[in-house]
Structure 1
C-alpha cells in the first residue's frame, strides 16, 4: 500500500479589513472544485480550548493581557490547535487552510507589540518544531483603506480592532518583513483592488500547488 500523501498547509495572512474571511472561502472553493480534501480553520482558535483562549485575547472587558501574556497565550492556543487539528489533518492527506498562523505573531506581537523576534522564534521552535506552512498568501493594502473597511462593517470592534493606526502600520510592516524573509513561501496579494482581481491573483498563485497535487495523485495511481 502506498504511503498517504501529506496534505498541503496553506495560511492566509493580513491585517484587519483586508478580506481574509471572504477570500479564505474562495480558496476552499478552489480546493473543492479540484476534488482535494480540505479543512478550514483559524488562529487563535480552531479547537474548543483554543477558542476559549481566543475569547480571552479578543475581549474588551476585564483585565488587559500584558504583552508577554498575550504572546504566550497565542502559542498556547497554537500548540493545542496543531496537535488536535492541523497535524492529524496533514498526516491524513487533508489540506489545511488556516486564517492566520505564526506570521501573524511576528507581525502583531512582534512588530506591533514590540516583542523580540528571538523570543518569538524560540516559542515557534518549541511549539512547531520544523512544521511551517507550505504556502502563505498575504493580503496587503494601505492601513487607511483597511481601517475604513472595518469601520464600514458597523460591528463592535474587538480588542485588536480598537488599536490605533500606528499599531496597524507596524503590523503591516511586520507582515511585509516576513514576506521578504520567506520569498519562496509567501505570495503577496494586492488587496486594495476589486474582489474579482484579488481572487484572480489568488487563483493564479494557487495553481502550481494544485498541479503538483494532481501530478502526485496520477503518479500514485500509476504505481498502485
Structure 2
C-alpha cells in the first residue's frame, strides 16, 4: 500500500477568514477537476468515494486571517496516483479564481508504515441515521461513542474496498485508544445554492491497534481522510 501527496503552494489574492478556507479550497479543487472529463464524472457521482482528502493552509495565522499577497501551502492526498498527477497540472492551470492561485505543486510517494497515533487536523464529520423528514444530525459527545467508532471503521472499510476491490475482515475495531481534543464541536462551512451549510465535527487523537488490518485502515485514514465529507475538508489526518 502507498498513497500520494501533493504539497500545493498558493498565493492569496485577497484576505480570507479561516472559516471560509475549506469552502474556497473545495470549490477550487472541484473547478479544477471539472476541466478533465474523467475527474468531472468522478466528482458528479454522489455515492462514490472520491478517495482524496485535503487539509487547511500552513502556516496558521494567529488572527485567523490569511493575508492578501502572502504564500501558504496545503496538502492533498489520494491512493490514486493517476488522480494526483492529473490534479497537479489542473490546479496550476486554474488561474482565474478570485481568491487564490496554486503556483507550485510537488508530489510525495508514501509507502505504508507503522502508525502509532493519528491526529485529526480538520473536523471529523459523522452523520447519524435519521427518520424521514428529520434534519440531518451529526455525532456529538451526547451520542454513543461506540456508534462513532463503528461508523468510522465501516467508512474506512468501504473506502478500502472501493479502491482495492477486496473486503477486509477485521476481528476488532481498528481503534485501540480514543481521545477527544475539543470541548465543543468544530465546524466546516460551505455555500451551496447561495445558502451557507454548517457541518459539525470533532477532533481526535486515535491510537490504532497493531494488527495488519487495523494498520491498513489507519493508513487509509491518512490517504483518504477519516469520517465523511472529505471533498469539503473533513477528517484530514496527521500521524506519529
TM range (shorter): under 0.3
TM-score, structure 1 normalization: 0.27
TM-score, structure 2 normalization: 0.26
The structure where helix makes up a greater share of residues is 1
